[in-house]
Amino acid sequence: MLSDSIMVNVEMTNAKNAENQARNEAVIRSRAEAAEERAKAKAKKVEEAAKKEMDTARRVAVEKSATEAATARVMRANENAKKVAAKKAEENAKKVAAKKAEEKAKKVAAKKAEEKAKKVAAKKAKKAVPAPPIDSTRDWSTAHLFGL
């Protein structure tokens, strides 16, 4: 009987040891699972943070690109406005110069025409035969017939 009770004690000890070992393994397994869950959660947070950083970087790049494009448009608009203003000023200057030249040409032509008319008139005056004295007693109604 003694051997039976020892055997029972050994079996009970073995059962307790097995139970303790199973409990320890369960605790280790649960701690490992918890650690794995924490690692997954941390990895997910890191991934989300990286995604946010990428989104922010992408948004900043797009905004920068949009800003650069807007700046380029403004610069082109300014250049175009300058070109248009310069062209308009040049056209106005040409118009003013042409108008002045035309006015000057007209004045010169008028002056030359007047001088020429004076010269011609002077020449004609030199060549002109003095008119015969008018005879008040004569009947001038038929003078045209005789070339007078």
pLDDT digits (tens, 9 = 90+) for 18-66: 999 999 999 999 999 999 999 999 999 999 999 999 999 999 999 999 9
pLDDT over 90 (residue 17): yes
Q: What percent of the chain has pLDDT over 90?
A: 65
Residue 116: predicted pLDDT: 87
How far is it, in rounded angstroms, from Cα 20 to Cα 38? 26
Residue 3: predicted pLDDT: 77
| CA angle centred on 5, ends 4 and 8, rounded to 5° | 90
Residue 49: predicted pLDDT: 94
Q: Where are the chain's structural domains?
A: 7-121
For the chain, the average pLDDT equals 86
More confident call, 86 vs 8: 86
pLDDT over 90 (residue 10): no
CB 148 within 8 A of CB 132: yes
Query: How much is the pTM?
Result: 0.39
| CA angle centred on 147, ends 141 and 148, rounded to 5° | 60
pLDDT class for 1, splitting at 50, 70, 90? low
Phi-psi region at 147: left, alpha or beta (left = phi > 0; alpha = psi -120 to 50): left
